[in-house]
């Protein structure tokens, strides 16, 4: 492929890259909200992503990168430039490396990976059972549940930095923090990830996965029926080693958030930190306004600043 030729023509000629124009962002995420993306490029393998990366600088600006859109509020106005989407519903089994590690495509769905890891006997992955979104999105967001954070499960992260140079980042180089990483903000693209290889008998992991899936079904909305993007705000970080992290949901409960709504957006009745699309006329602006009102109420009552865990795109 010649990267100096028309980039879109080059990409359109590949069978593993989909190029579409004027695609509703509501089709690109679990909140089912958002106006059109001027250009959407979808790929699902590291090879296809490499081809897109080779042309990235020549694609219509601005350029943004997403996985399954399960942690992003897309604006009603849409996205004026190129949106690159890296996700697949097909589970590509991880490759075993000679040193015992496992190499995984970042486009796979996190829950599929968790199911595979439990069967294979990789400890810790049961905690990610039932979390929507891609593995790549979970890595850069340092996704976590039940006391386990993604950074504990990894050995190496592969992709490109913002300048388009291929990179192999160590866990330290990813700059992980609570629900965050440096990679999430510096324009890096993650294509593959190497997992730690230590195994344990799978029975306990499979039982724990089943238990976690049941608990999630009780507490969290199923985004296919009740569109949402998971916890909206980060939990409150300890200010000293003696303190514990405090759930944002607890503070939101105290201000009566579960009764709050704005236009077609509402707070989920069983979880005060999850905002939902409660009716078909809900807009992204409704969600943003509701979230800002909740932030203000928590600030007024507790003098605490709730920080968004979710990303905004197009605002
Ligand atoms: C019902 C529900 C429950 C949830 N529960 C949890 C939970 O328990 N714990 C938790 O941590 N999260 C939870 N989430 C949030 C979400 O599922 C995770 O954050 C998920 O890992 C995001 O993956 P994604 O592919 O959808 O990322 P997206 O939403 O598409 O993107 C999120 C961010 O990651 C970046 N990104 C995505 N893929 C890549 C990549 N390959 N390379 C570089 N950057 C990338 C994007 O640019 C964006 O900044 C939940 C969401 C829902 C809807």
Pocket-testing residue among 84, 127, 132, 164, ligand 1, by greatest number of atoms within 8 A of Cβ: 132
Tokens of 111: 């829950």
Inter-residue contact 89 to 132 (CB < 8 Å): no
Pocket-testing residue among 32, 43, 66, ligand 1, by greatest number of atoms within 8 A of Cβ: 66
Per-residue pLDDT tens over the stretch 245-261: 789 999 999 999 999 99
Percent of all residues in the chain with a pLDDT value above 90, rounded to a whole number: 91
For residue 228, give the ligand 1 atom closest to its CA.
53
Kindly state the average pLDDT of the residues 100-120. Answer: 97
Using the mean position of ligand 1's atoms as its centre, give its distance from the Cα of residue 110 in Å: 9
- Say what the pTM is: 0.96
The pLDDT value given to residue 197: 81
Evaluate if residue 269 carries a pLDDT over 90.
yes
Using the mean position of ligand 1's atoms as its centre, give its distance from the Cα of residue 231 in Å: 11
Is 287 near ligand 1, meaning CB less than 6 Å away?
no
Q: Any idea which residues carry the catalytic annotation? A: 179, 231, 309
How sure is the predictor about 237, in pLDDT bands with cuts at 50, 70 and 90?
A: confident
78 — alpha (psi -120 to 50), left (phi > 0) or beta?
A: left
Domains of the chain (ranges; CATH) run 8-86 (3.30.43.10), 95-205 (3.30.465.10), 221-313 (3.90.78.10)
Is 190 near ligand 1, meaning CB less than 6 Å away?
yes
Is 271 near ligand 1, meaning CB less than 6 Å away?
no
Per-residue pLDDT tens over the stretch 15-68: 999 999 999 999 999 999 999 999 999 999 999 999 999 999 999 999 999 999
Identify which of 101, 112, 119 has the alpha carbon closest to the alpha carbon of residue 205: 119
Tokens of 5: 């030729």
For residue 107, give the ligand 1 atom closest to its CA.
41
Nearest residue (CA) to ligand 1, atom 51: 230
């Amino acid at each position: 492929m010649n990267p100096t030729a028309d980039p879109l023509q080059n990409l359109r000629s590949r069978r593993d890259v989909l190029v579409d124009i004027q695609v509703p962002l509501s089709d690109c995420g679990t909140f089912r909200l958002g106006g059109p993306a001027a250009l959407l490029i979808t790929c699902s393998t590291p090879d296809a992503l490499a081809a897109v990366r080779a042309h990235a600088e020549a694609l219509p600006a601005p350029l943004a990168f997403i996985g399954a859109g399960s942690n992003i509020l897309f604006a009603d106005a849409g996205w004026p430039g190129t949106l690159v989407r890296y996700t697949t519903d097909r589970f590509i089994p991880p490759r075993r490396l000679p040193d015992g590690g496992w190499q995984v495509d970042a486009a796979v769905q996190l829950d599929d990976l968790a199911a595979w890891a439990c069967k294979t006997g990789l400890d810790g992955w049961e905690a990610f059972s039932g979390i929507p979104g891609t593995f790549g999105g979970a890595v850069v967001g340092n996704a976590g549940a039940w006391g386990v954070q993604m950074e504990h499960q990894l050995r190496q992260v592969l992709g490109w930095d913002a300048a388009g140079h291929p990179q192999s980042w160590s866990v330290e180089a990813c700059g992980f923090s609570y629900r965050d990483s440096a990679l999430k903000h510096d324009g890096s693209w993650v294509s593959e990830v190497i997992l730690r290889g230590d195994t344990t008998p799978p029975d306990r992991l499979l039982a724990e996965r089943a238990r976690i899936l049941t608990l999630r079904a009780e507490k969290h909305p199923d985004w296919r029926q009740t569109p949402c993007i998971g916890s909206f705000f980060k939990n409150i970080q300890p200010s000293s080693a003696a303190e514990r992290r405090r759930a944002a949901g607890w503070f939101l409960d105290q201000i009566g958030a579960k009764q709050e709504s704005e236009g077609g957006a509402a707070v989920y009745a069983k979880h005060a930190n999850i905002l939902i699309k409660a009716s078909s006329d809900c807009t992204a602006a409704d969600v943003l306004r509701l979230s800002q009102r909740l932030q203000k109420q928590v600030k007024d009552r507790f003098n605490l600043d709730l920080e968004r865990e979710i990303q905004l795109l197009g605002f």
